[in-house]
Amino acid sequence: MPYIPHTQDDMEAMLATIGIGSLDDLFDEIPVDLRCGNLEKIPPALTEMEVGQLMRQRAAQNSSAVCFVGAGAYEHHIPAAVWEITTRGEFYSAYTPYQAEASQGTLQLLYEFQTLMANLTSMDASNASLYDGASALAEAVLMAVRITKSKAKRILMPTTVHPIYRRVVQTLVKNQGITLLDVPYNPETGTVDLANLENDSENAALVIQQPNFLGSLEAVDELTDWAHAQGLLVIGVVNPLTLAVLSAPGEWGQKGADIVCGEGQPLGIPLSGGGPYFGFMCCKKAYIRQMPGRIIGRTVDLDGKTGYTLTLQAREQHIRRSKATSNICTNQGLMVTAATIHTALLGAQGLEHVASTCHSNTTRLVNQLTTISGVNRVFKGPFFHETVIRLEKSVKDVLQQLAAHHILGGYDLSPYYPQLDQCLLVCATEMRTAAEIDDYTDKLQQVMN
């Protein structure tokens, strides 16, 4: 996006207009000891040509390796039309639709996004996105505590929930007197065991991730019914793409999940070196006023024409701080634009085809890898999108050797699960071809032998 810096004359004119003599006077409210001083680590200014050369050099450092890593960020095919439309000026530069009369296009798109997410999850309502999947789960935890009021401030958090999500949630809730209680998984199945669940009056909700971080499929119906029988809310954490073939959280058990959140990256967002991504959140209608972020509504004007507007904005920017549900409910509008276009282009059949192909490819990958001596699947039972294998060699060394063959072989689980030392989380999306899976199998066999 074009950027034209101010000249010294421009800055002096602006300072004179507001009656200030210098930039230092503009920031005189900031104590001197808190100012950063000279930015000594920032290199000297470069010309436009030099900046272009530097960026091309850095872009060339990006890996072109074949990716078998999942762990919450997935390489999917994105139709060319998605970002051709998303980067049009009216979408690319739009920020927040405060003026409904001037923002009908943006508001309609967000309304369509909410409709798509509510349909995918089988929930009553959706907001217009959050910052990312991890902070969306943190918001869901805060929401559950608000719903149960002062009654409960503890959350049953299975260790099969994404470990980075759990760390983010802990960071955001620890100073609010909210406790996350770890729920261990069954070492044979990699899923939550009902026998490990305990409840008391201090618990507010049970979190269920489906598929869980280890790729295993949780017994969502039984877990949901157990939670509701105990008077707990159910927070579902889902991959939206998998809902094309797995049961929607609104249909879990007899009553369905109460709050649903997750990461929207699989819907048309490239890996991009780690972001930006976007979070989503849906809930039952009864809890809609406790949901953070914005909700777009559809109505008609005085002439009977359809119009869109910001219906609910439960943020301290819009209402009293004491009434706000959140102060970090950033809306990832551009990512949501891409996701809405991507989902609409694929349609129900396209999403189902992608999800089914991902499962078929991962099944083929695991079946081939486990024919190699010293490679075994860790957990019994069904999985989706990814699963865990154990190697009879150092995972770190194996991954380094595979990288030398331009293969990103999977995700090392040992930093977050010490009991899964020498274990690797592997994934094969619809992007992986039979030849690439064969090549991975061949290279891993060479490394293991």
* Structure token digits, residue 58: 């850095």
- Specify the pLDDT at position 152: 76
In-domain check, residue 52 = no
> Which of 421, 100, 124, 78 minimizes the C-alpha distance to 267?
78
Residue 211, domain CATH? 3.40.640.10
User: What CA–CA distance (Å, rounded) separates 5 from 11?
Assistant: 10
- Specify the pLDDT at position 3: 62
The 10s digit of each residue's pLDDT in 145-181 is 999 986 679 999 999 999 999 999 999 999 889 999 9
- Are residues 303 and 429 both part of a single domain? no
Full residue range of the structural domain in which residue 416 is found: 66-75+347-448
- Specify the pLDDT at position 90: 82
The 10s digit of each residue's pLDDT in 187-198 is 999 999 998 898
- Are residues 353 and 322 both part of a single domain? no
- Specify the pLDDT at position 2: 59
Q: Is 304 left (phi over 0), alpha (psi -120 to 50) or beta?
A: left
- What is the number of helices (H) and of strands (E) in the chain? 12, 15
Taking only Cα atoms into account, the Rg of the chain, rounded to an integer number of angstroms, comes to 24
User: What CA–CA distance (Å, rounded) separates 15 from 317?
Assistant: 28
- Are residues 221 and 316 both part of a single domain? yes
- Specify the pLDDT at position 113: 96
Q: Which amino acid is at 68?
A: F
Q: How many CA atoms lie within 13 A of 233 on its CB side?
A: 27
* Structure token digits, residue 303: 């002439």
Residues in the chain where the model's pLDDT stays below 50: 1
> Which of 124, 128, 95, 96 minimizes the C-alpha distance to 114?
128
In-domain check, residue 57 = no
In-domain check, residue 2 = no
> Which of 409, 416, 417 minimizes the C-alpha distance to 375?
409
Residue 379, domain CATH? 3.90.1150.10
User: What CA–CA distance (Å, rounded) separates 67 from 430?
Assistant: 11
In-domain check, residue 394 = yes
In-domain check, residue 213 = yes
User: What CA–CA distance (Å, rounded) separates 357 from 75?
Assistant: 13
In-domain check, residue 300 = yes
Which residue among 306, 325, 342 closes a domain?
Answer: 342
Count of domains observed in the chain: 2
Q: What pairing do the DSSP bridges indicate for beta strands 306-313 and 294-300? A: antiparallel
Quick one: which H or E segment has residue 402?
helix 395-404
- Are residues 243 and 288 both part of a single domain? yes
- Are residues 126 and 182 both part of a single domain? yes
- Are residues 412 and 378 both part of a single domain? yes
What DSSP character marks residue 254? T
What sign does the CA torsion over 332, 337, 338, 344 have?
Answer: positive
- Specify the pLDDT at position 1: 47
- Are residues 333 and 206 both part of a single domain? yes
- Are residues 370 and 289 both part of a single domain? no
- Are residues 71 and 90 both part of a single domain? no
Which residue among 342, 365, 396 closes a domain?
Answer: 342
In-domain check, residue 61 = no
- Are residues 234 and 355 both part of a single domain? no
- Are residues 406 and 441 both part of a single domain? yes
The 10s digit of each residue's pLDDT in 364-415 is 999 999 999 999 999 999 999 999 999 999 999 999 999 999 999 999 999 9
Q: How many other CB atoms are there within 10 angstroms of residue 213's CB atom?
A: 28
- Specify the pLDDT at position 274: 79
Which residue among 311, 342, 373 closes a domain?
Answer: 342
In-domain check, residue 15 = no
Across-strand partners of 234? 206
- Are residues 266 and 382 both part of a single domain? no
